Amino acid sequence: KKSVPDLAPLEAVLFDVDGTLCDSDPLHYQVFREMLPQIGFNNGVPIDEEYFIKNIAGKHNPDIAVLLYPDDIPRGIKFMEDKEAMFRSRLASENLPPIKGLYKLTKWIEDRGLKRAAVTNAPKPNAELMISKLGLKDFFDVVILGSDCERAKPYPDPYLKALEVLKVSKDHTFVCEDSVSGIKAGVAAGMPVVGLTTRNPESVLMEANPTILIKDYEDPKLWEALEELDKRIGSSKTSA
């Protein structure tokens, strides 16, 4: 399996949004905890964090709708729309902390003139709100939504679409992700994935086969890999 330095020369970096650019999962979790008992889910007992991580975090809304209302999918979809509206109203009024070191990495990417895309299963208004609250509206060349693709993550389709739109090769691009579903999608698209242990335990993320796992974007493991990448690009230039 390719490591990050093997990608030299690097062409692009692809980012998931929720949990990867910002730590938004606690807010999603809160909203689910409040709203699910109202529909009698789990006999009205609020879900716990373990259930949330295992069954909900990082999943595509239509799949969550099926989980909640297996016999009435339209009703499940309506619930998810209401849930997202509640999430956005909370998000609008709260501050959204970026993952530590995010701007150090975005600056590194900008300084090297790399292409970049946000690739997310989140609904469009959520993705746009989060990206703009983080001040990254001008940073991304494109935002690829799971709903724009034949299949959302954990399938590779959204990442393959990002490569196509940016006109870059999977052999010169890496992905940043924080969920099992997202890591699987990046790996299935043939790219090394930097996995963030923002919310999900390492043991769980390892099952999806990331190239490296980091705590956040200040993690020395990430910067060692990026320095090595820079070195390889530098030495290939001098030898050319």
Q: What is the distance between the alpha carbons of residues 212 and 169, in angstroms, rounded to a whole number?
A: 20
Task: For residue 118, give the 3-state DSSP assignment.
Answer: strand
Q: What is the distance between the alpha carbons of residues 136 and 103, in angstroms, rounded to a whole number?
A: 9
CB atoms within 10 A of CB 232: 16
Contact between 158 and 60 (Cβ < 8 Å): no
Is there a catalytic annotation at residue 82?
no
| CA end-to-end span of the chain | 26
Nearest to 79 by CA among 92, 66, 91: 66
Give the length of the chain.
240
Place of tokens 């999962």: 25
DSSP 18: B
Q: Identify the sign of the CA torsion 113, 19, 221, 159.
A: negative
Is there a catalytic annotation at residue 148?
no
Which is the catalytic residue, given 18, 157, 178, 219?
A: 18
Contact between 188 and 210 (Cβ < 8 Å): no
Q: What is the distance between the alpha carbons of residues 208 and 205, in angstroms, rounded to a whole number?
A: 6
Which is the catalytic residue, given 6, 16, 111, 171?
A: 16
Nearest to 105 by CA among 218, 238, 233: 218
Catalytic residues: 16, 18
